[in-house]
Amino acid sequence: MLLGSIEAGGTKFVCAVGNKDYQVQDSAIFKTTTPEDTIGQCLEWFDQYRDELAAIGVASFGPIEIRQNSPRYGFITNTPKKHWADTDFVGPLKKHFDLPISWTTDVNSSAYGEYVLATLFNQRVNSLVYYTIGTGVGAGEIVNGHFVGELGHPEVGHIRVKRHPDDRDFAGICPYHGDCLEGLVSGPTFPARLGISGRQVPLTNHVWDIMAYYVAQAALDSTLMFRPDKIVFGGGVVSEPFLKKVRREFQKLLNDYVDVGNVDEYLTMPLAKNNGSATIGNFALALKEMNE
């Protein structure tokens, strides 16, 4: 028996198959182009495992429709991603593979993956928040094993943050809100601000301090709203040196108002290696869907 995983990102799709112990057996990466082309490549890749495949977990960039009583369940909805607005994602999968399919956001699956891994690592975690900071920004929240969000999934990437005094002139890049969290700290803000990619910007550049200030505000909001056991940060923008800056800003903003324990253990990098949290989460959610 194999479990399938599709992590649908704005830049690439990561497909994988794994066993019931969440160990990856094989994987492939496809560039995100058009729905027909990219989903088609995924279906073709999974065809080789058709006889062994028992269920598929799908984690997608959003916004997506997660309400199962909606006629648009399984759709990517009003995303700014070119070609992908109003795309039926789950429908073609169901038509091609008559299998149980779990469907949620990329950050929800990442949160679930970290939740599962925490148990495997013997960590006592009943709740957590997972932030991804990459091409976009989002967060998934889990409380007692359940996702937060009934009418829809949270859109934490679009919360408002207080502007850094040294960043007043940057308008932000979100096509909907300008200077929301995503508009100020996602990967594409580097070329918008500096004309170069984030990989070329040394950690000594003040822009990292500015971004840490915004990310720390998001962590503070999640802390005060949910009081999770921990907050995990993944995505291409995040590194341990950057997270150290976030922790310093967070402690200043929190000002010892509530107890979060050791901040190094509270604001953490993912347990999954190479940003693989969503794949593990997809395996676990696919198995759960199959058993239900």
Rounded to whole angstroms, the maximal C-alpha distance in the chain is: 58
Position 153 scores a pLDDT of 78
Is 37 within a domain?
A: yes
Cα distance between residue 60 and residue 31, in whole Å: 14
Structural domains of the chain, count: 2
What pLDDT does 155 receive?
83
Per-residue confidence (pLDDT) for residue 121, from 0 to 100: 86
Is 11 within the bounds of a domain? Answer: yes
* Residue 44 near residue 53, CB atoms below 8 Å: no
Give the pLDDT confidence score for residue 124 in this predicted structure. 86
Indicate whether 80 and 130 sit together in one domain.
Answer: no
- Alpha-carbon gap, residue 22 to 93, rounded angstroms: 21
Query: pTM to 2 decimals?
Result: 0.91
Query: Is 140 in the same domain as 255?
Result: yes
- Residues with pLDDT less than 50, the chain: none
The predicted pLDDT at position 200 comes to 96
In-domain check, residue 111 = no
CATH at residue 148: 3.30.420.40
CA distance 181 to 199: 20
